Chain A
């Protein structure tokens, strides 16, 4: 393995992608809205609109969610008033699925630029004439999308932790975030989601004509995450530690399948034939 060539590909792909507004804007704006602005509004707004008192209003409105909740999670809500329960519910549960969107989105937007964008700009052929093997080129391109996806997700996680803990100090009088399920989410599921975005985008890019085409089609991978979100609100699925670990495992298995297929589309002859 020529690691110098792999590093050169990673650096090049990142420098090119980060000069593309179509890449940079979603990478900055989506996490900012999803992980900072939305949580801040969702968590704090109810305090000002309608002061909540100790009571059962929230628990009645979210009937299914609370009724089916496993015992180890209900402990989190024991003895909390509505305001406190809202903070716990929104910060611990509602935003967890959103956290999978960040690595998926970042890896697929950079992946789209690196795989489909490079094809669109017709620069791939010159790379194929260098001694770099297609395995090294593939690894370089995957890392160029994977590393920023993880970095952006982890930075978001730190900022999100700060936002919700400000709420925690104000409402609960203590720092309460994250718990074990969240750490599993961040360290085990987020990398899996980043890899999923890449696997999907490589397959899409083999057929797509442009960066835009590839990126638009890759939006489909968000659908399972929306299902997770609704599943949870409907009381079917909860973000407990074992569930999160299992979701991670399922995504990693999907990654292996997708990336194995993706590698097959990435032989020199196959790429040249598509140029």
Chain B
């Protein structure tokens, strides 16, 4: 059984009449990269605040590294690092001063802190400008520094709130690569709040989708796709479009749940993978020119939008 470093039970937070987080149950394992996905205002930042004991819940229970953030906030925060949505750096100070300040606030021993600051400056490619005022930095440099600051005390869990929002593609890629490094080389547990689905797909082991404060799904992207589409999807590429009779005959094949036609592309949903040969046979008998047959992969984007649509009560 995995070691859960974050656990919540029926976590709820209201702000007056507004329900920011409702009945959220989460379990996140050590070393995992967990993507917390949802539109702006869905409750992602509030959840991070609750998990760090910065905000108290209206109801529910939280355990972070076995500690209760409500009564043991400082002990929790000593072992977590947070990259906030805006970098929140002291712009009149240098990068080195910013890192030293936070090292002292986290009570990192002075000799360890000196070494750690230089390591992080080098790792985040900021050494050359470490003594320049942060105000003179580009957005990407500021974000790298904010990430370095979140790591100053070598935290067990790293919370990243929209780490690439507002960055140009080059800077965003650098930050994504750094996060990948932290996860793969340093095996840190990462709680990544984002609405950048490509980034989440690249980085996350599991994702949770939140909408209006409610966690509507949790799992690996494959598990979520299975749950949504209940079966096995295949895509078939043809030399020329299929006739209407041929499509009708395909629908009659046992185990075929759905057929979508997109010119020379067919997307077929089967109740199980073992139905694939029968479908191919039926296509050949109907005179189809088959160029390629491959399992249909759902991107995290497909999954996310389907989940959000389901949450709104719609369907595809």
Contacts and interface: CB of A to CB of B under 8 A. Distances in A.
Say which size band chain B's interface belongs to: 20 to 34
Interface string B71-115: 001110110111010101111110001000110111100000000
Contacts of B104: 4-5, 7-8
Contacts of A121: 91
Contacts of A9: 105
Interface in A122-150: 122-133
B15 interface: yes
B52 interface: yes
Contacts of A16: 90, 92-93
Say which size band chain A's interface belongs to: 20 to 34
B55 interface: yes
A15 B81 CA distance: 25
A126 B15 contact: no
A59 interface: no
A123 B90 contact: yes
A224 interface: no
Interface in B163-209: none
A131 B52 CA distance: 10
A interface: dominant SS:
helix
B267 interface: no
Nearest to B108: A4
B49 interface: yes
Interface string A2-46: 101101110110011001100000000000000000000000000
Nearest to B110: A4
Interface stretch (A90-98, A229-237, A267-275): A267-275
Interface of B: 15, 49, 52-56, 73-75, 77-78, 80-82, 84, 86, 88-93, 97, 101-102, 104-107, 146, 149
Interface of A: 2, 4-5, 7-9, 11-12, 15-16, 19-20, 121-133, 268-269, 272-273
14 contacts: A5-B104, A9-B105, A16-B90, A16-B92, A125-B86, A126-B146, A129-B52, A129-B54, A131-B73, A131-B74, A131-B77, A131-B105, A132-B74, A272-B49
